[in-house]
Amino acid sequence: MVIVYRDEAGKQMALEYPITTDPGAHYTKSELMNKDGAAILVPGQYVNTYGLGKHRGKYEALCETGGPVRVWRDGNRDDRLDRSGRIYEGVFWINIHRAGQSGTTERIGKYSAGCQVFQNADNFANFIGLARKSRDIRGNQFTYTLLEEADLG
């Protein structure tokens, strides 16, 4: 994930964090939380779709609060993520949150059934700090743009 913002002095800043956009194997092989399968967010821009809230009521994260997202569903348990086919649109609580409470998490496991998940807890804490500052200045609406590597040229 790349965060682009202006600091207090107006200087443009960019930070890069390792995250995953893939659901974990637990939700693609063992436990389908949705009968159609795990969610895979479709690349695109989701304007004002996110706001600070509680992920699963537990801790502060960017939560899908302002509108629908588009996802593919992977429910065939074939060990390959399906990034094609029918696109579902709605509010699916595809949040932006962390994996473990501390340190770096190596496997997605149960941390994502479709969410965008930070690998490192300290990186996530820094991200949330920036989101709080932005909320206090601009309000609690955030735009998330998901690009694929091929989109970068």
Q: Locate 116 and state its tokens.
A: 């965008």
Asked if the structure places residue 142 within a domain, the reply is: yes
Task: State the Cα–Cα distance between residues 98 and 115, nearest whole angstrom.
Answer: 10
Q: Locate 20 and state its tokens.
A: 């995953």
Asked if the structure places residue 124 within a domain, the reply is: yes
Q: What pLDDT, in 10s, does the model give residues 27-70?
A: 888 877 888 989 999 999 999 999 999 999 999 999 999 889 99
Taking residues 90-97, report their average pLDDT.
96
Is the pLDDT score of 75 beyond 80? yes
Give the range of the structural domain holding residue 68, as residue numbers without chain letter.
18-152
Provide the number of structural domains found in the chain. 1
- Residue 79: pLDDT band with limits 50, 70, 90: confident
The answer to whether the pTM exceeds 0.75 is yes
